[in-house]
Amino acid sequence: MKIFEACADSLLGHGVDVMFGLMGDANMLYVANYRERGGQFVAVVHESSAVAMADSWSRSTGRVGVATVTHGPGLSNTMTSLMEAVRSRSQVLLLTGDTPAEPTHFQRMDISSFAQAAGAGYDKVHRRETLGRDLNRAFQRVVAERRPVVLNIPVDLMLEDAGDQAPVSPAVHSSPSVPAINDLDAALGLVASAKRPIVLAGYGAVLSRADEALLALAETLAAPVATSVLAKDMFRGHPSNLGICGSLSHSVAAAAIAESDLIIAFGASLNVYTTFHGELLADKHVVQVDIDPGRFGWYLPASEYIAGDAAVVADSIREALDAIDHTPSHPGWLQSVQQHLVDYRPEAEYKDHTAVDTVDVRTACLRLDDVLPSDRTMVSDIGRFTNAVWPRIEVPDARRFTTMGGFGAIGLGLAGAIGAAIARPDELTIAVVGDGGFMMHLAELTTAVRLQLPLLVLVFNDNAYGAEHTKLQRYGADPDHSLNMWPEFGPIAEAIGAGSMSVRKIEELDELRHITHDLRGPYVVDIKLDPEVDILA
C-alpha cells in the first residue's frame, strides 16, 4: 500500500464518509482513491467553500468536518473560511501538503505560519511511517482543542510505501466536568437574592444541549429566558421566551431585559451585539457560565464566573436552590412579562415601507416565516439584511440555525448552506444572503445544482452593500457609492440549472409554499428591496 492509499484508508476508517475539496498535486491521488472506495467527495468551485462546507456540515452533525486542498494557492484560498471556522470554534480538519522538496517550486508556502496566522492548529506528517498516527492525532486535536487543525501531508510522501501504520483510534470527547459546589457559592448568593433574573443561552448552551436544564432552572427562578443570536430559537414557543437578547431584541424583550437585575449567561460570550455594547448589562449583576474559563470577561467583566458545561452547571444551581427551598421573591414579574409576550405583535413594531416595486424586508421575513415549511435549517451570510431576518425567520431548534459570520466576512453563507444541506438531505435548507454576499461566491451554486440539494437561496437584494449604505449615510457621505450594478439573478440562476423567481410584491412569496414542497435542487429567490429603507434607523 502506498501512502496515498493509506491516507484514504485512514480517512474512511475515521468514518469520514463525506469530504469537501478541490484537487491538485498535493491531494489528488488520495482523493481519487477515497472516491473509488466509496467516499463522497464534494468537489467545490473555490477552496474557500471547501472549508466553509466542512465547517457548516460539522456544526450540523456534531462530527469532524474534513476538507482537502492542494498546496500553495489551494491553501491560501482557504484563509477567510479557515478563520471563520477558528472564530466559530468549529471541528474542521484541513488537509494540505508541502510542495516537493525543491526550494524554487513556485507554489511553495509556509503552511505552519499560515495556520498560525489563522489561529488554527498545525501538524505535519514528517515520515511515511507516522501517517496513521499523525491522522489519529489530528482528529483528536480537532475535538480536544475545539478548533480547526491544518495537517500537512507533504506531496513527496504520496508514492512511498506505507508499511505498517498505526490502527485508527477514533477521537474521543471528554465528558463535561461537574463543578464543585463551593465554586457556586458566590454566584448562588446572587441567584437566590435576585428579584428579576433572566436566563440567557449562548452557543455553548446549544453545544451542551442544555435546553431542558435551562428551562428547569428558569422555572425554579420564575425567570424569562433569552438567547444570543447563535442560540436563536432554543426556547421557541415557550411562554417565557424573550427571543434574541441585544440589539435585535423586540420591544417586550428589551423592556424585560432593562428591568432585570441579574443575567445568568450560559455559554454566551456577552459580545457587543448580545449586550448592546454593554448597555444591557449596566446596573445589573451578571453570572457568566462557560466551559472555557478563557472566555470569562472577554468582552465585559461579570460579577461571578462559573467554569463548567452549561447543562451541568444549570442542574447544579437548580439542585442547590431546591436544597434551600428557594422560592422566587417576585413571581408576578414573570407573569407580567408572559402577558406582554402574549400581546406582542411583530407587525406592530415598525412602519411598513413596501413600495410599488420593492418589499419591506421585515414584512417579507414575517411572510417567509409563515409560508416556508416548518422543518427547516437556516444558514446565514452577514450584512444589513440579517437585522431583519434573524429575529423574524425562525427554525425549529437552535441546532438548525447557524451564521457564517464569526469572522465577519461576507460570502461564506452559500457554501455554509450547501454543507448543512448535505448534512440534512431530507429537509429544506435555507441560505439567507445579501446581494453582495451572494455574488461573491455565486459560482458555488453549481455545486448545489450538481448535487440536486433541496436548497432555497433567499437573496435579500437591495442592490447595494447595504451595511455600508447605512454607514456612509451616517458619516454624511454619499451612500450611492455603495450601490451595485448586478445583472438580474433569475436568468443567471436558471442558466446554472437552478430554479428562480423574483419578488417585488409580498403576495408573490406565497408561491414558495408550493415551490418548497418537494424541492429537488436549488431555488433562488431574488427579493427586491429599496436600499434607502434603513431598518436600523
Ligand X SMILES: Cc1ncc(C[n+]2csc(CCOP(=O)(O)OP(=O)(O)O)c2C)c(N)n1
What residues numbered 459-488 form the site for ligand X, per CB under 6 A? 460, 462, 464-468
What does 72 interact with, of ligand X, Mg ion, none (CB < 5 to 8 A by kind)? none
User: Residue 44 corresponds to which cell in the numbers above?
Assistant: 467545490
Nearer to Mg ion, 224 or 434 (CB): 434
With CB atoms as reference, the residue minimizing the distance to ligand X is 434
Cα 469 to the center of its chain, rounded Å: 25
122 bridge partner residues? 150
Cα 324 to the center of its chain, rounded Å: 39
Query: Closest distance between ligand X and the C-beta of residue 508, in Å?
Result: 20
Q: In degrees, to the nearest 5, what angle opens at C-alpha 424 toward C-alphas 419 and 430?
A: 65
Q: Does 197 bind ligand X (CB under 6 A)?
A: no
Query: Closest distance between ligand X and the C-beta of residue 403, in Å?
Result: 12
Q: The dihedral of CA 283, 287, 289, 290: what is its sign?
A: positive
Residue 303 makes CB contacts below 8 A (sequence gap 6+) with 190, 285, 286, 287
Report how far residue 48's alpha carbon sits from residue 22's, in angstroms, rounded to the nearest whole number: 10
Q: Does 237 bind ligand X (CB under 6 A)?
A: no
What residues numbered 390-429 form the site for ligand X, per CB under 6 A? 408-411
Among the listed ranges 40-48, 69-77, 243-251, 465-473, the one in contact with Mg ion (CB under 5 A) is 465-473
Q: Does 435 bind ligand X (CB under 6 A)?
A: yes
What residues numbered 35-64 form the site for ligand X, per CB under 6 A? none
Among the listed ranges 9-17, 37-45, 311-319, 379-387, the one in contact with ligand X (CB under 6 A) is 379-387
Residue 308 makes CB contacts below 8 A (sequence gap 6+) with 176, 177, 178, 179, 183, 289, 291, 316
Query: Closest distance between Mg ion and the C-beta of residue 527, in Å?
Result: 11
Among the listed ranges 36-44, 183-191, 366-374, 432-440, the one in contact with ligand X (CB under 6 A) is 432-440
Nearer to Mg ion, 384 or 399 (CB): 384
What does 409 interact with, of Mg ion, ligand X, none (CB < 5 to 8 A by kind)? ligand X
Binds Mg ion by CB under 5 A, chosen from 9, 211, 435, 444: 435
The identity of residue 159, as a single letter, is L
Angle between helices 47-61 and 79-87 (to 10 degrees): 20
How many residues sit close enough to ligand X to count as binding (CB under 6 A)?
A: 18
The identity of residue 150, as a single letter, is V
Cα 13 to the center of its chain, rounded Å: 28
Q: Does 444 bind ligand X (CB under 6 A)?
A: no
The identity of residue 352, as a single letter, is D
Q: Does 98 bind Mg ion (CB under 5 A)?
A: no
Neighbours of 233 (CB within 10 A): 22
Nearer to Mg ion, 233 or 462 (CB): 462
Per-residue contact flags (x/-) with ligand X for residues 268 to 307, judged by CB under 6 A:
----------------------------------------
Q: Does 437 bind ligand X (CB under 6 A)?
A: yes
User: Residue 211 corresponds to which cell in the numbers above?
Assistant: 435546553
Residue 477 makes CB contacts below 8 A (sequence gap 6+) with none
What does 262 interact with, of Mg ion, ligand X, none (CB < 5 to 8 A by kind)? none
How many residues sit close enough to Mg ion to count as binding (CB under 5 A)?
A: 5
461 bridge partner residues? 528
Cα 239 to the center of its chain, rounded Å: 26
Binds Mg ion by CB under 5 A, chosen from 96, 462, 479, 527: 462
| DSSP code string of 95-161 | EE-PPPS-TT-TT---HHHHHHHHT-EEEE--SGGGHHHHHHHHHHHHHHHTS-EEEE--GGGTTSB
Binds ligand X by CB under 6 A, chosen from 383, 391, 479, 522: 383
Nearer to ligand X, 179 or 531 (CB): 531
Q: Does 434 bind Mg ion (CB under 5 A)?
A: yes
Widest CA span in the chain: 75
Nearer to Mg ion, 304 or 435 (CB): 435
Which residues contact Mg ion by CB under 5 A? Answer: 434-435, 462, 464, 466
